[in-house]
Amino acid sequence: MTRQTDLGKKVIYQLYPKSFYDSNGDGIGDLRGVIQKIDYLKQLHIDQIWFNPFFISPQHDNGHDIADYYRIDPKFGTMDDFREMVKVLKEAHIGVMLDMVLNHISTDHEWFQRALAWDAKYQKFFYLRSPKANGDLPNNWESKFGGPAWAPFGDSGQYYLCLYDKTQADLDWHNPEVRQELEKVVRFWMQEGVEGLRFDVINVIGKDEQLVDSPSPRQLTVEKALYTDTPVVHQYLKELNQKTFGADDQIVTVGEMSSSTIENSIEYTNPSEHELDMVFTFHHLKVDYQDGNKWTDMPFDFQKLKHLLIDWQTKMDQGHGWNALFWNNHDQPWALSRFGDSGQYREKSAEMLAAAMHLLRGTPYIYMGEEIGSINTPYQSIDEYNDVESINAYHQLMAEGKSPQEALHLVYLKSRDNSRVPLAWDDSPQAGFTTGTPWLQPKNQERINVKAELDHGEIFNFYQRLIQLRKSEPLISAGHFRAHLADHPAVLAYERYLDDDQLLVFNNFYGDATEVLVPSEFVGKGGQVLIDNYEADLAQLPGQIKLRPYESLAFKISRS
């Protein structure tokens, strides 16, 4: 698997342009801001940066509602800025990965506007349907942001499908002209020097031409099966691969896979299938959802988390699939606030989470701010939030009988705005992000910021060490996966193995010390500690190890 061996050496940094650094004082991060912070990015020795969308957009969904695939929104800069950024990043040996939102477009997009103007060609670009005979909506599907997944199509009497926000119209991939237009978009950005492509919610492009009712309304798991991971998605991805990025070995591709299965993810990423390089999947980030409901307050289910990670790692390895490894992104509250300790053990739990993920089989992604131990933002009012999903959830929670305080607490725990708050560069009121008024107000910068972390912190340095190990240690970049201590109540333990070498990894997910029995086949074996966030010093593995709070220990044994 030469392709996957190469992917295993890469580390990708996700950058939310709106919140990274503002170069002109308008309160919004921009491309020139990225250029000005190149030296910071170089220190991590990352291979690529995945940029969230910075195309023309009305910003109803923070740029995932694209109104023009070919133009950069003036809020973020110009095409000249983009080309300069690509150039200086390439000089720093960092490639650019762009976000391709190809399932839907903004209703401001020319295609949708021409459809509204009765252009028959463009009306075929969308799922336009008449109401049922009784006047009901075309079907009973729910929007992922709340409410029905249909909106009136002008004054035509028809409705258009919008699985996300009402201003995001789903494209009909059954129409070959739609696919051809989207292929042009991909080729355009490849010609501009892009080396990576991240495809947004790409496994929902295969909706059936007959959009039937969900047999269990409001049971989203049942409903999602009607439009998720359908067989035609594989056909579409093979076609996209063949006609765009497939001939260029330098292009790295990743698909965001909503509610995908392991079997489908293997097919998406097995090199022999010629679809994508890797997948983002989210099952492990739903283990603190009460009865599957995101907007709830419950401790994360560690056993569920552990077994999901083990199951995906084991079966993807066996099936020659490939995972994108991540805890954080722009759609998630901070993992450190969910699975770690944002107070007493912030540093140690941040490092443990990093090691637990980075030492797995796959390609790690670091979301900006993760490398300095960022945590959730304690806003005091719903008016301080920007995210459409969070605001909708707040009002829905109130409608369900929650008090304003209860609803706000649940939004604080799970809002996507937590990770979208501007990156704190220093402890000033605007966090060194802007000289103006930030689009979203930072709150934690007095405690957590880049300057303080680089001056006297330990998390950033720990990430540097993990990245260096991935590039230098074949066990990590190319090794296979085997689980250990599967029923331990506090520890995720696993082995990476390759030829005659083994790496045994122990991760304590709690703030209490815990004992682990070392599997008998490793006891007394000589080797070395590759990394430990408490700097353990072992020359061989004893029969029992006491792991300190949030300790991560990786021990390498070489038989050669």
Phi and psi based region of residue 48 (left: phi greater than 0; alpha: psi -120 to 50; beta: remaining): beta
Burial tier of 254 (Cβ tally within 10 Å: 0-12, 13-18, 19+): buried
SS3 87: helix
Q: Residue 463 phi/psi, 5° resolution?
A: -65, -40
Distance in angstroms (rounded) separating the CA atoms of residues 12 and 264: 23
Place of tokens 């942001």: 145
Closest CA to 95 of 249, 324, 280, 274: 249
b/e sequence 215-242, b meaning 16+ C-beta within 10 Å: eeeeebeebbebbbbbeebbebbebbbe
Stated length of the chain: 560
CA distance 297 to 409: 9
Catalytic residue check, 256: yes
Sort 58 into a burial class: Cβ within 10 Å, 0-12 / 13-18 / 19+.
middle
Q: Strands 68-72, 128-129: parallel, antiparallel or unpaired by DSSP? A: unpaired
**Which secondary-structure segment (H or E) carries 503?**
strand 501-508
CA distances (Å), 114 to each of 61, 66, 109, 117, 478, in order? 22, 16, 9, 5, 50
Token pair belonging to 529 = 């500690």
200 a catalytic residue: yes
Q: What Cα–Cα distance (Å) separates residue 441 from each residue in 274, 323, 367?
A: 43, 34, 19
Closest CA to 200 of 232, 170, 225: 170
Q: Over the range 507-545, which residues count as b (16 or more CB within 10 Å of their CB) and which as e?
A: bbbbbeebebebeeebeeeebeebbbbeebeeeebeeeb
From the list 503, 471, 467, the residue with the least C-alpha distance to 484 is: 503
DSSP letter (8 states) at residue 132: P
User: b/e per residue, 338-361, with b = 16+ CB within 10 A?
Assistant: bbbbbeebbbbbbbbbbbbbbbbb
Catalytic residue among 165, 170, 200, 532: 200
Residue from 560, 559, 541 nearest 493 by CA: 541
SS3 for 90-107, per residue?
Answer: HHCCCEEEEEECCCEEEC
Calpha distance 267→141 (Å, rounded): 27
Q: 548, 552, 553: which is closest to 512 by C-alpha? A: 548
Say which of 22, 47, 61, 256 is annotated catalytic. 256
Catalytic center residues: 200, 256
